[in-house]
Amino acid sequence: MKSACLLLLLLFLVSPLRAQEEPQPSPQGEEILADEETLSSEEAPLDEETLLSEEILPDEEALPDEETLPDEIIAEETFIDPQPSPQGEGSPLDDDAFFFEAPPLIFEVPTFETRSFDTIFPGFSRRQRITAMSSTGVRHSFMKDEPPILIPNPELEIDLLDSVMKRNPSHLIEALALVPYDEKEFDLLDIYNALGRVEKIQNFPATVNGNDLYIFTESTRIESARNRRAIPDPLPAVTLPFSQTMYLRLKEINFGNLFIRADISISMYGITYSMTNFTDVRYYLVPIMKAEKYVTMIYLEPVKEGILIYSVSGFYLPGFISDRVNLTPNINRRITIFINWITDGLRAQVTDND
């Protein structure tokens, strides 16, 4: 009996020790296992097809499939390496396929034949032709409702009259002169340089009752329409501009200072010189012609017989002024001065080159 009790006491003492030695399941075991499974799934490697179809770099956009692009876009984005592939590296294309010899470029300057007087003004009588080649030339004054008599060949598009009529003039004057060649034939550059001698205008008089009368007492260029400071004429040009605008001041004995805008335009055959008043014209401080109401257009062309000078002038005067003041003879005299000034400028080209 005593032995049995001792055995039971021994078993009772040993049982708690074994219970402490057995591992107890961790309450966080399920969470740790779940984290490990999540980590395993995130670190699982993706196959190559998944990477190619889904991975897009952050700074790039997905490129459209080439089959969906239009042919023009594919052609623009396709390029060929300018460096030829070394021989022996398996390049399927021949180097010579990328190079070709371009044909030489040839630039031809257009040539043209000098026209004749009869080509520009066909149908002139012999008497009209002789008068045009005289010192006075042909003159014709007419009103806006009357027809002109100097009509250039319409196929040549030398239409000064239409340009003048746009200013709605009341009075018109047309003139024609032919300056024969003397010691040399003149070209467009000679004409342009003759028109550039503005300071020489004052040197040419008009004939009034058999006497020489210097109508322009001063002639000079000015800087601009606003800045009217006098500037000298430039040296003769060596090249022609396509167009040019200059401003002039002509001091006239009757009307005082005339401020003129002169526009030059150059075509294949000739030069057009247009003169317009950009301020009012006054007679003893009384305005008799408003700004932009006077225009003289002069066309100059080297022809076979000489230098052709054809001009059309137009100006507007109200009826109460034109009834009291006849400006047509005055304008006619000034046109004569301009023609003599141009002619002398052409002659000066010969003496200056000697």
Residue 17 located in a structural domain: no
How many angstroms separate the most distant Cα atoms in the chain? 182
Residue 46 located in a structural domain: no
Looking up residue 270, the CATH number of its domain turns out to be 3.30.530.20
* Residue-level pLDDT at 111: 57
Residue numbers of the chain with a pLDDT score lower than 70: 1-112, 350-354
Number of domains observed in the structure of the chain:
1
Please answer whether residues 301 and 286 qualify as being in contact, where contact means their C-beta atoms are separated by less than 8 angstroms: no
* Residue-level pLDDT at 104: 52
Helix ranges (DSSP H) in 43-159:
48-54, 71-77, 117-120, 126-132
Cα separation, 222 vs 153, whole angstroms: 37
- Domain containing 316 equals 117-353
* Residue-level pLDDT at 40: 41
Helix (H, G, I), strand (E, B) or coil at 86: coil
Please, what sign has the CA dihedral across residues 268, 345, 263, 177? negative
Q: Which residues contact 71 (CB under 8 A, 6 or more apart)?
A: none
What one-letter code names the amino acid at 253? Answer: I
* Residue-level pLDDT at 78: 42
Residue 211 located in a structural domain: yes
* Residue-level pLDDT at 208: 86
Helix ranges (DSSP H) in 93-234:
117-120, 126-132, 160-165, 188-195
Q: What angle do CA 188, 189, 192 make, to 5 degrees?
A: 85
Residue 249 located in a structural domain: yes
* Residue-level pLDDT at 6: 52
Residue 89 located in a structural domain: no
Residue 143 located in a structural domain: yes
Residue 20 located in a structural domain: no
Q: Model's pTM, two decimal places?
A: 0.68
Cα separation, 84 vs 94, whole angstroms: 9
* Residue-level pLDDT at 252: 92
* Residue-level pLDDT at 304: 94
Q: Which residues contact 288 (CB under 8 A, 6 or more apart)?
A: 281, 282, 317, 321, 325
Could you tell me how many residues make up the chain? 354
What one-letter code names the amino acid at 106? Answer: I
Q: Which residues contact 182 (CB under 8 A, 6 or more apart)?
A: 347, 350
Residue 162 located in a structural domain: yes
